Amino acid sequence: MPPPRLSERQALAVLMVAVLVMGVAKVLWPGVVPVSILAVPAIVGGWRLSRRSLVVLTVVIVAVLLLALWVSPGARTAWAAAVVVLIVGLGFRYAALRQRWGLSATQGMPILLELRSRVRALGEPPQLDEGWALARALRSAGDQAFRGDFTLAQRDGAQVQAMVVDVSGHGLMVAGRATQLAGAFGGLVQVLPAGDTLDACNDYLVRQEWDRDYATAVHMALDQSSGVGWVRCAGHPAPRLRRADGRWDEVPVRGRVLGLSRQPPFEPVEFRLDPGDSMVLVSDGALDETAADPWTAVRAAVERWLRDGARPGTHPLPPLTTAVDDDQTVVALHRRAEG
């Protein structure tokens, strides 16, 4: 059974006692006890207390700081006191953010982690029929926890769908919009016929009436029994087919960015995966536009995946480009060679 948590009033009382004990210790042993030790209750108070309780704790901290300056006057003590005051100010800033979000000190991080886990779970590649493998590889801009790219995957009998969506922005600045669209688009993928999904995603985004934010997407559906599928694109990099003989072919599919108009044409382009073939979807961050062939690094990553046995699931993605300010995503559907 976990120990009971301290209430707001109890936490404030404990911190105030700690500050007073530190103040007494500074008076008794001025050359041994540093002023910077007061940073500890200041940090804990900023993380744990509300702004009202933090005001009370700040009064006590400032009083002890003044006492320390009187006991041990000097530049070193003054600089240490200034650092403690700065930490208190940062604590007020954090407490204000928590109050605006309506979260307690211990709720914020678990909620963010839960959101990240749910978004990633939506695109987890499903187990396919024998002879097929669907995998994705992800890398966030700056290795941050949240990403502007997300993937969706769905299997319904013999049909398998995969979608890569790129929301403008990256990292925490796009976390809210990416989470919103991942939930909405994920629901549409699960309940609508594959041919209507991208149109419905566009209608949803149009109704949001975002002024400057946008999203692009590429959507693929395939029948595992025949190997025949189609792909649609909405302002996203066109996918490529990796043939069994090692040749790479671009799929000539185009479409307008999601949310710009109510009924844009998302024309499907049909393709066929024969044994040994693969369909590869990417986000624009995975392509090195400064290279003569932007797909060079992606091709190398996919070839390595194939040599390693084309394992399904989610894999870490090594940096594909020198640009660290964009999310990178690669999704590959592979039909194993016969025999």
Q: What is the pLDDT of residues 144-162, one digit of tens each?
A: 656 778 899 999 999 999 9
Residue with tokens 């930490």: 87
CATH T-level fold of 111-335: Phosphatase 2c; domain 1 (3.60.40)
- Give the separation between CA 194 and CA 150, rounded to whole angstroms: 18
Chain centroid, CA 141 distance in Å: 9
**Residue 242's beta-bridge partner residues?**
248, 278
- Residues 314 and 137: beta-carbon distance below 8 Å: yes
pLDDT of residue 146: 65
Domain boundaries, the chain: 8-106, 111-335
What is each CA distance from 284 to 3, 148, 151, 159, 291, in whole angstroms? Answer: 49, 11, 14, 26, 13
- At 129, the amino acid letter reads D
Q: At residue 245, what are phi and psi to the nearest 5 degrees?
A: -85, 5
pLDDT at 2: 45
The pLDDT value given to residue 121: 72
pLDDT given at position 1: 42
CA–CA gap between residue 196 and residue 193 (Å, rounded): 6
Q: What is the per-residue pLDDT for 51?
A: 79
Instruction: Look at residue 223 in the predicted model and tell me its pLDDT.
Output: 96
How far is it, in rounded angstroms, from Cα 321 to Cα 291? 9
What is the Cα 39 distance to its own chain's centre? 32
Alpha carbon of 78 to those of 6, 71, 115, 211: distances in Å? 33, 12, 44, 49
DSSP string, 249-307: EE-----PPBTSSSS-----EEEE--TT-EEEEE-GGGS-TTSSSTTHHHHHHHHHHHH
Sequence length of the chain is 339
Per-residue model confidence (pLDDT) at position 135:
94
The pTM of this model reads 0.71
Query: Which strand (E) or helix (H) includes residue 216?
Result: strand 215-223
pLDDT of residue 132: 95
pLDDT in tens, the chain (339 residues): 445 567 778 888 888 898 888 888 878 887 777 887 888 888 888 777 877 888 888 888 888 888 888 877 878 778 888 888 888 888 888 777 777 666 555 555 566 666 666 667 777 899 999 999 999 988 876 666 567 788 999 999 999 999 999 887 655 567 778 778 888 898 899 889 999 999 999 998 888 877 767 889 999 999 999 999 999 999 899 999 999 999 999 999 998 888 888 777 889 999 999 999 999 999 888 888 778 888 998 999 999 999 999 999 988 887 777 666 678 889 999 999 875
Q: What is the pLDDT of residue 67?
A: 84
Residue with the two structure tokens 């949310």: 259
315 phi and psi angles, rounded to 5 deg: -130, 150
